[in-house]
Amino acid sequence: MKALCLLTPLIFLLSGHARAADAIPPLKYEQRTLANGLQFIWLEDHSSPTAAVQVWYRVGSKDDPAGRSGFAHLFEHMMFKSTKRMPNEFLDRLTEDVGGDNNAFTQDDVTAYHETIPSHHLERLLWAEAERLSSLEVTEANFHTERDVVKEEFRQSVAAPPYGEFGEFILKKSFAEHPYQRPTIGNIAELDASSLDEVRAFHTTFYRPDNAVLVVAGDFDAAQLQRWVDQYFGPLTHPEAPIPRVTVQEPPRHAEQRIREYDAKVPLPALAVTFLAPSIASPETPALTVLASVLGGGESSRLYQSLVYEKELAQSADFGADLRADLGLLTVQLILASGVPIAKAEAALRAELARVVEHGITEAELTTARNQTLLARLTERETPSGKAMALGFAATVVGDLEQANRTLTELETVTATQVQEAARRYLTDANRLTIEYLPASMKTKRKK
């Protein structure tokens, strides 16, 4: 039955018989701000006896102290440790042991904690989130334990895979001044150099009610929910010191740049091309979202069809529009096929990018890309957790809660002309950084 409910509006969208805003009901949320500055958003959804609780903190890897990358990510882990009234991993007992789940994630701009539980367990989850906001024990033991966990995560996801450091290198070189250049996961040297006092100071600075957004979606009585939130979150206080914000402005690029890097782990050459882009709040976001889908949205995308299937120059081809709170980055990544000269692959890539700049995209491509994105939104909004995610992201990263609803209409009404105009604005030579990421053996050959 759920699958039918999901497919019905999509069928209308594909056939052009209904607008997305008509086919997809808006998120009917309400919000208020507590006296301590906590932003509280709630949305009733009685379609299942479950509730989603999320706390979004406006702190991400861009807020890590200089020379201490990974602090925001470290606290994603440490927030599951003990508090004054909860032992380590007690949140698992409150969620997993009653058939629910919990997790967290860190991005450049935010750190978010999310749980889904049977709705009759909602009160204890609200208590637990308020408890770890106000009373987390940042101890030497917890610090060292979770720092080791983060370091091992770095070894497995970045250091060990052949191209694991490729993505990190792209970010470091793509931003000249903005702290988006720092990897979210951190690095071992800077984590090892950190002290407990530094970690505690970071926690005090950013983990406070006036830097948090509480989102509750699902099956609850609204009046009772208000009383619980006031009871558990209302008494929390925050430091008098203002919350520091990143004010660094990334300078625009004025000339094409090229970097060559060698890595002993990579078996085949890789190529990355990046272009600075606007923030997620830009009116060009829908056009850039569609552009990314047309160029790099899976095996049917232009780059994959041209460079992998037809010309056999690469074994993978991706294009992404990573639009964040302060500014964005458009990124192409290729891993070349064996024996293919990097100059040949780059020439073919440039031709594909020039084609979209000069001739735009077709109406068929626009419809496919648009509906794929709308389907993702439809799927997300089938659950209380997905609804809460959309609201939390809009409130914190976009900085405009109502954007959670407007994004559907904006995606539906974006035109092929707008996509081409965005491509022309950002896919320019002056805005281009090209990175050749080569096997270390090629360095020896070039010297000879």
Task: Please report how many Cα atoms fall inside a 13 Å half-sphere around the Cα of residue 409, on the Cβ side.
Answer: 10
Give dist(CA 141, CA 147) in Å, integer.
Answer: 10
Under the banding of pLDDT at 50, 70 and 90, the label for residue 7 is very low
Task: Please report how many Cα atoms fall inside a 13 Å half-sphere around the Cα of residue 45, on the Cβ side.
Answer: 26
Q: Please write the tens of the pLDDT for every residue from 335-386.
A: 999 999 999 999 999 999 999 999 999 999 999 999 999 998 888 889 999 9
Cα→Cα distances 424→58, 218, 357, Å:
33, 43, 5
Q: Does position 19 have pLDDT exceeding 80, yes or no?
A: no
Average pLDDT over residues 50-58: 98
Which is more confidently placed, 414 or 4? 414
DSSP per residue, 227-256: HHHHHHTTT----SSPPP---PPPPPP-S-
* Predicted local distance difference test score (pLDDT) of residue 377: 83
- With 0.85 as the threshold, say if the pTM is over it: yes
Give dist(CA 73, CA 151) in Å, integer.
Answer: 11
Give dist(CA 73, CA 108) in Å, integer.
Answer: 10
Counting residues of the chain whose pLDDT is more than 90, the rounded percentage is 88
* Predicted local distance difference test score (pLDDT) of residue 443: 85
Under the banding of pLDDT at 50, 70 and 90, the label for residue 447 is low
Q: Does position 328 have pLDDT exceeding 70, yes or no?
A: yes
By three-state DSSP, how is residue 8 classified? helix
Name the strand (E) or helix (H) holding 163.
Answer: none
| Residue found under tokens 């950013």 | 206
Cα–Cα–Cα angle for 191, 389, 10, nearest 5°? 135
CB atoms near residue 260 (< 10 Å)? 13
Q: Are 191 and 225 in contact (CB under 8 A)?
A: no
Cα–Cα–Cα angle for 307, 288, 105, nearest 5°? 95
Domains of the chain: residue spans and CATH: 28-232 (3.30.830.10), 257-447 (3.30.830.10)
By three-state DSSP, how is residue 87 classified? coil
Q: At what angle do helices 363-380 and 416-426 cross, to 10 degrees?
A: 90
Mean pLDDT rounded to a whole number for the chain? 92
Q: Does position 177 have pLDDT exceeding 80, yes or no?
A: yes
Q: Does position 10 have pLDDT exceeding 70, yes or no?
A: no
DSSP per residue, 131-146: HHHHHB---HHHHHHH
Q: Does position 11 have pLDDT exceeding 90, yes or no?
A: no
Average pLDDT over residues 170-185: 95
| Rounded-to-5 percentages of helix, strand, coil across the chain | 50, 20, 30
* Predicted local distance difference test score (pLDDT) of residue 445: 64
| Residue found under tokens 């970071």 | 202
Under the banding of pLDDT at 50, 70 and 90, the label for residue 24 is low
Give dist(CA 301, CA 127) in Å, integer.
Answer: 47
Question: CA nearest 327: which of 396, 249, 394, 393?
Answer: 249
Q: Are 171 and 181 in contact (CB under 8 A)?
A: yes
* Residue 265 DSSP one-character state: T
Give dist(CA 310, CA 291) in Å, integer.
Answer: 21
Q: Please write the tens of the pLDDT for every residue from 108-126.
A: 999 999 999 999 999 999 9
Q: Please write the tens of the pLDDT for every residue from 307-321.
A: 999 999 999 999 999
Under the banding of pLDDT at 50, 70 and 90, the label for residue 22 is low
Contacts for 118 with CB less than 8 Å, ≥ 6 apart: 49, 50, 51, 98, 99, 100
Average pLDDT over residues 39-54: 97
Give dist(CA 389, CA 41) in Å, integer.
Answer: 11
**Long-range Cβ contact pairs of 391-394 (< 8 A, separation 24 or more):** 391/27, 391/29, 391/41, 391/43, 391/215, 391/217, 392/41, 392/54, 392/56, 392/112, 392/213, 392/215, 393/56, 393/110
